[in-house]
Structure 1
Protein backbone atom coordinates (compact mmCIF):
# COMPACT_ATOMS: atom_id res chain seq x y z
CA UNK A 1 0.00 0.00 0.00
CA UNK A 2 1.17 3.51 -0.82
CA UNK A 3 0.73 6.40 1.63
CA UNK A 4 -1.96 8.95 0.77
CA UNK A 5 -0.47 12.46 0.94
CA UNK A 6 -2.74 15.47 1.21
CA UNK A 7 -1.32 18.54 -0.56
CA UNK A 8 -2.86 21.91 0.23
CA UNK A 9 -3.67 24.22 -2.67
CA UNK A 10 -3.71 27.91 -3.52
CA UNK A 11 -6.93 29.80 -4.18
CA UNK A 12 -7.77 33.05 -5.93
CA UNK A 13 -11.20 34.50 -6.71
CA UNK A 14 -12.12 31.69 -9.11
CA UNK A 15 -9.51 28.93 -9.10
CA UNK A 16 -7.73 26.42 -6.90
CA UNK A 17 -4.18 25.71 -8.11
CA UNK A 18 -1.09 23.72 -7.21
CA UNK A 19 2.37 23.53 -8.79
CA UNK A 20 2.81 20.21 -10.55
CA UNK A 21 6.21 19.77 -8.90
CA UNK A 22 4.53 18.98 -5.57
CA UNK A 23 2.41 16.28 -7.15
CA UNK A 24 5.32 14.77 -9.05
CA UNK A 25 7.57 14.78 -5.97
CA UNK A 26 4.95 12.79 -4.05
CA UNK A 27 4.45 10.34 -6.91
CA UNK A 28 8.21 9.92 -7.40
CA UNK A 29 8.60 9.41 -3.67
CA UNK A 30 6.10 6.55 -3.72
CA UNK A 31 2.97 8.29 -2.45
CA UNK A 32 -0.51 9.00 -3.76
CA UNK A 33 -1.15 12.76 -3.99
CA UNK A 34 -4.55 14.09 -2.92
CA UNK A 35 -5.06 17.81 -3.50
CA UNK A 36 -7.00 19.50 -0.69
CA UNK A 37 -9.02 22.68 -1.36
CA UNK A 38 -9.77 25.48 1.05
CA UNK A 39 -13.07 25.65 2.91
CA UNK A 40 -12.65 22.22 4.51
CA UNK A 41 -11.76 23.29 8.05
CA UNK A 42 -15.02 21.94 9.48
CA UNK A 43 -14.22 18.54 7.98
CA UNK A 44 -10.51 18.53 8.80
CA UNK A 45 -10.90 15.79 11.42
CA UNK A 46 -12.47 13.43 8.90
CA UNK A 47 -10.04 14.37 6.13
CA UNK A 48 -6.94 13.81 8.26
CA UNK A 49 -8.17 10.33 9.19
CA UNK A 50 -7.98 9.52 5.47
CA UNK A 51 -4.44 10.86 5.11
CA UNK A 52 -1.11 9.24 5.90
CA UNK A 53 0.76 12.52 5.55
CA UNK A 54 0.17 16.22 4.97
CA UNK A 55 2.24 18.42 2.66
CA UNK A 56 1.57 22.13 3.18
CA UNK A 57 2.50 23.82 -0.06
CA UNK A 58 3.91 27.26 -0.81
CA UNK A 59 1.95 30.36 -1.76
CA UNK A 60 1.16 33.88 -0.61
CA UNK A 61 1.46 35.59 2.75
CA UNK A 62 -0.22 34.64 6.01
CA UNK A 63 -2.69 36.98 7.67
CA UNK A 64 -0.74 38.82 10.43
CA UNK A 65 -3.87 38.91 12.58
CA UNK A 66 -3.13 35.25 13.26
CA UNK A 67 -0.15 36.32 15.36
CA UNK A 68 -1.70 39.52 16.72
CA UNK A 69 -0.09 42.04 14.36
CA UNK A 70 -1.44 44.79 12.14
CA UNK A 71 -0.55 44.59 8.42
CA UNK A 72 2.61 46.37 7.31
CA UNK A 73 2.71 48.19 3.95
CA UNK A 74 5.01 45.50 2.54
CA UNK A 75 2.56 42.67 3.29
CA UNK A 76 1.60 40.75 0.13
CA UNK A 77 -1.61 39.01 -0.85
CA UNK A 78 -3.30 37.10 1.97
CA UNK A 79 -5.98 34.41 1.74
CA UNK A 80 -7.57 34.09 5.19
CA UNK A 81 -9.71 31.17 4.06
CA UNK A 82 -6.58 29.21 3.16
CA UNK A 83 -4.98 30.08 6.51
CA UNK A 84 -8.03 28.79 8.36
CA UNK A 85 -8.16 25.47 6.51
CA UNK A 86 -4.43 24.76 6.68
CA UNK A 87 -4.09 25.61 10.37
CA UNK A 88 -6.93 23.26 11.25
CA UNK A 89 -5.51 20.48 9.07
CA UNK A 90 -2.16 20.88 10.85
CA UNK A 91 -3.77 20.76 14.29
CA UNK A 92 -5.66 17.60 13.44
CA UNK A 93 -2.57 15.91 11.95
CA UNK A 94 -0.57 16.81 15.07
CA UNK A 95 -3.27 15.30 17.29
CA UNK A 96 -2.94 12.05 15.31
CA UNK A 97 0.88 12.34 15.18
CA UNK A 98 0.87 11.86 11.42
CA UNK A 99 3.77 13.21 9.34
CA UNK A 100 3.76 16.82 8.15
CA UNK A 101 6.10 18.47 5.67
CA UNK A 102 5.74 22.24 5.35
CA UNK A 103 7.30 23.94 2.33
CA UNK A 104 7.95 27.71 2.12
CA UNK A 105 4.56 29.18 3.16
CA UNK A 106 3.85 25.75 4.68
CA UNK A 107 6.95 26.13 6.87
CA UNK A 108 5.44 29.40 8.12
CA UNK A 109 1.99 27.84 8.62
CA UNK A 110 3.58 25.18 10.83
CA UNK A 111 5.21 27.79 13.04
CA UNK A 112 1.98 29.78 13.42
CA UNK A 113 0.01 26.59 14.14
CA UNK A 114 2.30 25.98 17.14
CA UNK A 115 1.79 29.58 18.33
CA UNK A 116 4.76 31.21 16.65
CA UNK A 117 5.08 34.52 14.79
CA UNK A 118 6.43 35.74 11.44
CA UNK A 119 8.32 38.65 9.97
CA UNK A 120 5.78 40.11 7.58
CA UNK A 121 8.61 41.39 5.39
CA UNK A 122 12.19 40.50 6.20
CA UNK A 123 13.73 43.33 4.20
CA UNK A 124 11.88 46.13 5.99
CA UNK A 125 12.04 44.44 9.41
CA UNK A 126 15.69 43.39 9.47
CA UNK A 127 18.32 45.63 11.02
CA UNK A 128 21.13 43.92 9.10
CA UNK A 129 21.88 43.18 5.46
CA UNK A 130 20.16 40.12 4.03
CA UNK A 131 20.78 37.69 1.21
CA UNK A 132 18.54 37.63 -1.84
CA UNK A 133 15.69 35.47 -0.54
CA UNK A 134 13.42 35.94 -3.56
CA UNK A 135 15.78 34.76 -6.26
CA UNK A 136 15.55 35.92 -9.86
CA UNK A 137 16.91 32.64 -11.21
CA UNK A 138 14.79 29.67 -12.30
CA UNK A 139 13.11 27.55 -9.62
CA UNK A 140 15.59 24.68 -9.69
CA UNK A 141 18.61 26.96 -9.17
CA UNK A 142 20.21 26.63 -5.73
CA UNK A 143 20.96 30.24 -4.86
CA UNK A 144 22.23 30.24 -1.27
CA UNK A 145 23.46 27.96 1.49
CA UNK A 146 21.70 26.75 4.63
CA UNK A 147 23.64 25.65 7.70
CA UNK A 148 21.96 22.70 9.44
CA UNK A 149 22.11 22.13 13.19
CA UNK A 150 24.10 19.05 14.07
CA UNK A 151 22.04 16.28 15.65
CA UNK A 152 18.72 17.36 14.12
CA UNK A 153 16.55 15.05 12.04
CA UNK A 154 17.04 17.26 9.00
CA UNK A 155 20.83 17.17 9.36
CA UNK A 156 20.74 13.38 9.55
CA UNK A 157 18.57 13.24 6.42
CA UNK A 158 20.81 15.62 4.51
CA UNK A 159 23.97 13.87 5.79
CA UNK A 160 25.62 17.29 5.81
CA UNK A 161 25.78 20.43 7.93
CA UNK A 162 25.66 22.72 4.89
CA UNK A 163 23.35 22.45 1.89
CA UNK A 164 22.40 24.63 -1.08
CA UNK A 165 18.76 25.65 -1.58
CA UNK A 166 16.52 27.74 -3.81
CA UNK A 167 14.64 30.71 -2.33
CA UNK A 168 11.31 32.44 -3.05
CA UNK A 169 10.02 34.33 0.01
CA UNK A 170 9.87 37.69 1.76
CA UNK A 171 8.27 36.49 5.01
CA UNK A 172 10.14 34.37 7.56
CA UNK A 173 9.88 32.87 11.03
CA UNK A 174 10.36 35.21 14.01
CA UNK A 175 9.37 33.67 17.36
CA UNK A 176 9.58 29.87 17.35
CA UNK A 177 7.71 28.14 20.17
CA UNK A 178 8.44 24.83 21.88
CA UNK A 179 8.47 22.00 20.97
CA UNK A 180 9.72 23.32 17.62
CA UNK A 181 13.46 23.72 17.24
CA UNK A 182 15.48 25.49 14.58
CA UNK A 183 17.27 22.96 12.39
CA UNK A 184 18.62 25.28 9.71
CA UNK A 185 19.58 28.92 9.11
CA UNK A 186 20.87 30.97 6.20
CA UNK A 187 24.18 32.77 6.66
CA UNK A 188 22.28 36.02 7.35
CA UNK A 189 20.40 34.42 10.27
CA UNK A 190 17.05 33.83 8.57
CA UNK A 191 15.48 30.62 9.89
CA UNK A 192 15.29 28.17 7.01
CA UNK A 193 14.15 24.96 8.73
CA UNK A 194 12.31 23.79 11.84
CA UNK A 195 11.27 20.45 13.24
CA UNK A 196 9.45 18.98 16.23
CA UNK A 197 11.35 16.35 18.24
CA UNK A 198 8.07 15.58 20.05
CA UNK A 199 6.38 14.22 16.92
CA UNK A 200 7.05 11.31 14.59
CA UNK A 201 7.89 13.57 11.63
CA UNK A 202 7.21 17.31 11.54
CA UNK A 203 9.60 19.34 9.38
CA UNK A 204 9.27 22.76 7.80
CA UNK A 205 11.67 24.15 5.20
CA UNK A 206 11.68 27.68 3.81
CA UNK A 207 12.91 26.60 0.38
CA UNK A 208 11.29 24.46 -2.35
CA UNK A 209 12.76 20.93 -2.34
CA UNK A 210 9.97 19.71 -4.63
CA UNK A 211 11.42 21.93 -7.39
CA UNK A 212 14.92 20.58 -6.74
CA UNK A 213 13.90 16.91 -6.89
CA UNK A 214 13.35 17.35 -10.63
CA UNK A 215 16.93 18.58 -10.89
CA UNK A 216 18.16 15.38 -9.18
CA UNK A 217 19.23 17.17 -5.98
CA UNK A 218 20.14 14.35 -3.61
CA UNK A 219 19.31 16.19 -0.37
CA UNK A 220 15.81 17.02 -1.63
CA UNK A 221 15.36 13.44 -2.81
CA UNK A 222 16.39 12.11 0.62
CA UNK A 223 14.02 14.55 2.35
CA UNK A 224 11.03 13.23 0.42
CA UNK A 225 12.19 9.65 0.92
CA UNK A 226 12.43 10.20 4.69
CA UNK A 227 8.99 11.82 4.71
CA UNK A 228 7.45 8.90 2.79
CA UNK A 229 9.19 6.42 5.09
CA UNK A 230 7.67 8.19 8.10
CA UNK A 231 4.24 8.05 6.46
CA UNK A 232 4.63 4.31 5.85
CA UNK A 233 5.70 3.81 9.47
CA UNK A 234 2.57 5.60 10.70
CA UNK A 235 0.45 3.47 8.37
CA UNK A 236 1.85 0.43 10.13
CA UNK A 237 1.18 1.94 13.57
CA UNK A 238 -2.55 2.46 12.98
CA UNK A 239 -5.24 0.42 11.32
CA UNK A 240 -5.18 1.24 7.64
CA UNK A 241 -8.35 2.78 6.27
Structure 2
Protein backbone atom coordinates (compact mmCIF):
# COMPACT_ATOMS: atom_id res chain seq x y z
CA UNK A 1 0.00 0.00 0.00
CA UNK A 2 1.11 3.54 -0.68
CA UNK A 3 1.97 5.61 2.42
CA UNK A 4 -0.40 8.41 3.38
CA UNK A 5 1.37 11.70 4.07
CA UNK A 6 -0.09 14.75 5.75
CA UNK A 7 0.70 18.11 4.12
CA UNK A 8 0.34 21.27 6.21
CA UNK A 9 -1.33 24.38 4.80
CA UNK A 10 -1.01 28.14 4.98
CA UNK A 11 -3.97 30.39 5.78
CA UNK A 12 -4.68 33.72 4.07
CA UNK A 13 -6.40 36.76 5.61
CA UNK A 14 -9.79 35.51 4.43
CA UNK A 15 -9.31 32.20 6.23
CA UNK A 16 -8.70 30.19 3.06
CA UNK A 17 -6.38 27.20 3.38
CA UNK A 18 -3.64 27.23 0.76
CA UNK A 19 -0.92 24.85 -0.33
CA UNK A 20 1.30 24.90 -3.38
CA UNK A 21 0.43 22.16 -5.86
CA UNK A 22 4.15 21.38 -6.13
CA UNK A 23 4.10 19.71 -2.70
CA UNK A 24 1.23 17.47 -3.77
CA UNK A 25 2.86 16.65 -7.10
CA UNK A 26 6.19 15.82 -5.43
CA UNK A 27 4.58 13.32 -3.04
CA UNK A 28 2.53 11.75 -5.81
CA UNK A 29 5.58 11.42 -8.04
CA UNK A 30 7.52 9.72 -5.22
CA UNK A 31 4.73 7.21 -4.70
CA UNK A 32 2.86 8.63 -1.70
CA UNK A 33 -0.74 9.70 -1.13
CA UNK A 34 -0.92 13.34 0.06
CA UNK A 35 -3.63 14.47 2.49
CA UNK A 36 -4.04 18.22 3.04
CA UNK A 37 -4.19 19.18 6.74
CA UNK A 38 -6.08 22.38 7.63
CA UNK A 39 -5.68 24.42 10.79
CA UNK A 40 -8.21 23.95 13.56
CA UNK A 41 -7.40 20.27 14.01
CA UNK A 42 -5.52 20.72 17.29
CA UNK A 43 -7.74 18.26 19.18
CA UNK A 44 -7.39 15.65 16.43
CA UNK A 45 -3.60 15.54 16.21
CA UNK A 46 -3.28 12.21 17.99
CA UNK A 47 -5.85 10.58 15.69
CA UNK A 48 -4.20 12.04 12.60
CA UNK A 49 -0.79 10.80 13.68
CA UNK A 50 -2.23 7.31 14.10
CA UNK A 51 -3.75 7.47 10.62
CA UNK A 52 -0.86 9.04 8.71
CA UNK A 53 2.49 7.51 7.77
CA UNK A 54 4.45 10.75 7.45
CA UNK A 55 4.29 14.53 7.76
CA UNK A 56 5.38 17.26 5.34
CA UNK A 57 5.82 20.64 7.02
CA UNK A 58 5.52 23.12 4.17
CA UNK A 59 6.93 26.58 3.56
CA UNK A 60 5.12 29.87 4.10
CA UNK A 61 5.11 32.90 6.36
CA UNK A 62 7.08 33.57 9.51
CA UNK A 63 6.79 31.68 12.78
CA UNK A 64 5.51 33.81 15.68
CA UNK A 65 8.59 34.66 17.81
CA UNK A 66 6.53 34.05 20.95
CA UNK A 67 7.57 30.41 20.41
CA UNK A 68 11.18 31.55 20.74
CA UNK A 69 10.53 33.55 23.88
CA UNK A 70 11.26 36.71 21.87
CA UNK A 71 9.49 39.94 20.98
CA UNK A 72 8.89 40.63 17.26
CA UNK A 73 11.80 42.15 15.34
CA UNK A 74 10.89 45.16 13.13
CA UNK A 75 11.69 43.05 10.04
CA UNK A 76 9.43 40.15 11.09
CA UNK A 77 6.94 39.23 8.36
CA UNK A 78 3.33 38.07 8.60
CA UNK A 79 2.63 35.39 11.21
CA UNK A 80 -0.30 32.97 11.43
CA UNK A 81 -0.81 31.86 15.05
CA UNK A 82 -3.36 29.16 14.24
CA UNK A 83 -0.95 27.58 11.78
CA UNK A 84 1.92 27.68 14.28
CA UNK A 85 -0.28 26.01 16.88
CA UNK A 86 -1.31 22.99 14.82
CA UNK A 87 2.09 22.47 13.18
CA UNK A 88 3.92 22.48 16.51
CA UNK A 89 1.44 19.93 17.86
CA UNK A 90 1.73 17.77 14.75
CA UNK A 91 5.53 17.87 14.75
CA UNK A 92 5.73 16.88 18.41
CA UNK A 93 3.23 14.06 17.97
CA UNK A 94 5.06 12.63 14.95
CA UNK A 95 8.41 12.92 16.73
CA UNK A 96 7.03 11.06 19.75
CA UNK A 97 5.78 8.33 17.41
CA UNK A 98 9.08 8.29 15.47
CA UNK A 99 7.23 8.79 12.21
CA UNK A 100 8.98 10.47 9.24
CA UNK A 101 8.94 14.26 8.93
CA UNK A 102 10.24 16.38 6.07
CA UNK A 103 10.37 20.12 6.79
CA UNK A 104 10.72 22.58 3.92
CA UNK A 105 11.85 26.22 4.40
CA UNK A 106 9.53 27.45 7.20
CA UNK A 107 9.00 23.78 8.03
CA UNK A 108 12.71 23.36 8.74
CA UNK A 109 12.71 26.43 10.99
CA UNK A 110 9.66 25.14 12.87
CA UNK A 111 11.37 21.78 13.40
CA UNK A 112 14.36 23.50 14.96
CA UNK A 113 12.03 25.38 17.32
CA UNK A 114 10.34 22.11 18.35
CA UNK A 115 13.77 20.74 19.28
CA UNK A 116 14.53 23.82 21.38
CA UNK A 117 16.58 25.70 18.80
CA UNK A 118 16.23 29.26 17.56
CA UNK A 119 15.85 31.21 14.33
CA UNK A 120 16.93 34.55 12.95
CA UNK A 121 13.75 36.59 12.63
CA UNK A 122 15.51 38.44 9.81
CA UNK A 123 18.92 37.38 8.50
CA UNK A 124 19.85 40.75 7.01
CA UNK A 125 19.37 42.46 10.36
CA UNK A 126 20.62 39.75 12.71
CA UNK A 127 23.28 37.66 10.94
CA UNK A 128 26.75 39.07 11.59
CA UNK A 129 28.49 37.98 8.36
CA UNK A 130 28.04 38.94 4.68
CA UNK A 131 25.12 37.06 3.12
CA UNK A 132 24.42 35.53 -0.24
CA UNK A 133 21.17 36.43 -1.98
CA UNK A 134 18.70 34.16 -0.22
CA UNK A 135 15.61 35.52 -1.98
CA UNK A 136 16.48 34.78 -5.57
CA UNK A 137 15.21 36.94 -8.41
CA UNK A 138 15.08 34.10 -10.94
CA UNK A 139 12.29 31.60 -11.57
CA UNK A 140 11.39 29.34 -8.66
CA UNK A 141 12.63 26.16 -10.32
CA UNK A 142 16.10 27.59 -11.08
CA UNK A 143 18.99 26.85 -8.72
CA UNK A 144 20.53 29.91 -7.11
CA UNK A 145 23.50 28.93 -4.93
CA UNK A 146 25.59 26.02 -3.67
CA UNK A 147 25.26 24.14 -0.41
CA UNK A 148 28.03 22.03 1.09
CA UNK A 149 26.77 18.67 2.33
CA UNK A 150 28.25 17.10 5.47
CA UNK A 151 29.53 13.57 4.97
CA UNK A 152 28.30 10.68 7.13
CA UNK A 153 24.84 12.21 7.48
CA UNK A 154 21.49 10.85 6.33
CA UNK A 155 21.18 13.70 3.87
CA UNK A 156 24.57 12.97 2.31
CA UNK A 157 23.58 9.32 1.94
CA UNK A 158 20.43 10.43 0.12
CA UNK A 159 21.96 12.88 -2.37
CA UNK A 160 25.36 11.19 -2.69
CA UNK A 161 27.19 14.48 -3.26
CA UNK A 162 29.42 16.85 -1.29
CA UNK A 163 28.03 19.95 -3.05
CA UNK A 164 24.65 20.56 -4.66
CA UNK A 165 22.88 23.63 -5.99
CA UNK A 166 19.51 24.77 -4.64
CA UNK A 167 16.91 27.50 -5.00
CA UNK A 168 16.34 30.06 -2.24
CA UNK A 169 13.33 32.05 -0.94
CA UNK A 170 13.74 32.99 2.71
CA UNK A 171 14.59 35.94 4.97
CA UNK A 172 14.65 33.82 8.14
CA UNK A 173 17.03 30.97 8.99
CA UNK A 174 17.84 28.58 11.82
CA UNK A 175 20.41 29.31 14.51
CA UNK A 176 21.26 27.66 17.84
CA UNK A 177 20.54 24.17 16.55
CA UNK A 178 18.38 22.12 18.92
CA UNK A 179 19.50 18.67 20.06
CA UNK A 180 19.62 15.94 18.86
CA UNK A 181 19.61 17.78 15.54
CA UNK A 182 22.82 18.12 13.53
CA UNK A 183 23.69 20.36 10.60
CA UNK A 184 23.82 18.35 7.37
CA UNK A 185 24.54 21.16 4.89
CA UNK A 186 25.43 24.86 4.86
CA UNK A 187 25.57 27.63 2.27
CA UNK A 188 28.86 29.31 1.47
CA UNK A 189 27.96 32.19 3.79
CA UNK A 190 27.46 29.81 6.73
CA UNK A 191 23.66 29.79 6.73
CA UNK A 192 22.35 26.36 7.74
CA UNK A 193 20.61 24.68 4.82
CA UNK A 194 19.84 21.16 6.15
CA UNK A 195 19.21 19.78 9.61
CA UNK A 196 18.44 16.20 10.61
CA UNK A 197 17.73 14.30 13.81
CA UNK A 198 20.18 11.69 15.02
CA UNK A 199 17.52 10.18 17.29
CA UNK A 200 14.76 9.49 14.75
CA UNK A 201 14.46 7.24 11.73
CA UNK A 202 13.77 10.11 9.29
CA UNK A 203 13.50 13.73 10.39
CA UNK A 204 15.07 16.13 7.89
CA UNK A 205 14.60 19.83 7.26
CA UNK A 206 15.83 21.68 4.17
CA UNK A 207 15.91 25.46 3.77
CA UNK A 208 15.15 25.52 0.04
CA UNK A 209 12.19 24.25 -2.02
CA UNK A 210 12.97 20.85 -3.56
CA UNK A 211 9.33 20.40 -4.59
CA UNK A 212 9.79 23.26 -7.06
CA UNK A 213 13.10 21.95 -8.40
CA UNK A 214 11.39 18.63 -9.12
CA UNK A 215 9.32 20.45 -11.75
CA UNK A 216 12.45 20.52 -13.91
CA UNK A 217 13.69 17.04 -12.97
CA UNK A 218 16.31 17.97 -10.38
CA UNK A 219 17.89 14.63 -9.45
CA UNK A 220 18.71 15.51 -5.83
CA UNK A 221 15.21 16.79 -5.12
CA UNK A 222 13.79 13.58 -6.54
CA UNK A 223 16.14 11.53 -4.34
CA UNK A 224 15.03 13.47 -1.25
CA UNK A 225 11.31 12.93 -1.84
CA UNK A 226 11.89 9.31 -2.84
CA UNK A 227 13.78 8.73 0.44
CA UNK A 228 11.06 10.48 2.46
CA UNK A 229 8.20 8.48 0.95
CA UNK A 230 10.21 5.28 1.22
CA UNK A 231 10.76 5.95 4.92
CA UNK A 232 7.00 6.45 5.33
CA UNK A 233 6.42 2.91 4.05
CA UNK A 234 8.33 1.30 6.93
RMSD after superposition: 0.6
Whole-angstrom distance in 2 between the partners of 1:12 and 1:229: 32
1:125 aligns with 2:126: yes
1:85 aligns with 2:86: yes
Whole-angstrom distance in 1 between the partners of 2:162 and 2:81: 36
Whole-angstrom distance in 2 between the partners of 1:13 and 1:213: 29
CA apart distance, 1:58:
0.3
* Other-structure match for 1:138: 139
After TM superposition, list the pairs within 5 Å mapping 1:26-175 onto structure 2. Answer: 26-175=27-176
* Other-structure match for 1:185: 186
CA apart distance, 1:12:
1.5
Whole-angstrom distance in 2 between the partners of 1:136 and 1:69: 31
Partner-residue secondary structure (3-state), 1:78: coil
CA apart distance, 1:126:
1.6
Alignment deviations for residues 36-65 of structure 1 (CA, whole Å, 9 cap, x no partner)? 001112211111111000000000000011
Alignment deviations for residues 185-238 of structure 1 (CA, whole Å, 9 cap, x no partner)? 0000000000001101000000000001111000000001111110011xxxxx
Whole-angstrom distance in 1 between the partners of 2:8 and 2:96: 18
Whole-angstrom distance in 1 between the partners of 2:27 and 2:111: 19
* Other-structure match for 2:200: 199
**Structure 1 runs of 4+ with >3 Å offset:** none
Whole-angstrom distance in 2 between the partners of 1:35 and 1:150: 34
Partner-residue secondary structure (3-state), 2:193: strand
1:7 aligns with 2:25: no
Whole-angstrom distance in 2 between the partners of 1:54 and 1:101: 6
State the TM-score, normalizing by the size of structure 2: 0.98
CA apart distance, 1:142:
0.3
Aligned residues: 233
Whole-angstrom distance in 2 between the partners of 1:126 and 1:196: 24
Partner-residue secondary structure (3-state), 1:189: coil
CA apart distance, 1:13:
2.4
> Unaligned stretches of 5+ in structure 2?
none
CA apart distance, 1:34:
0.2
Whole-angstrom distance in 2 between the partners of 1:5 and 1:127: 38
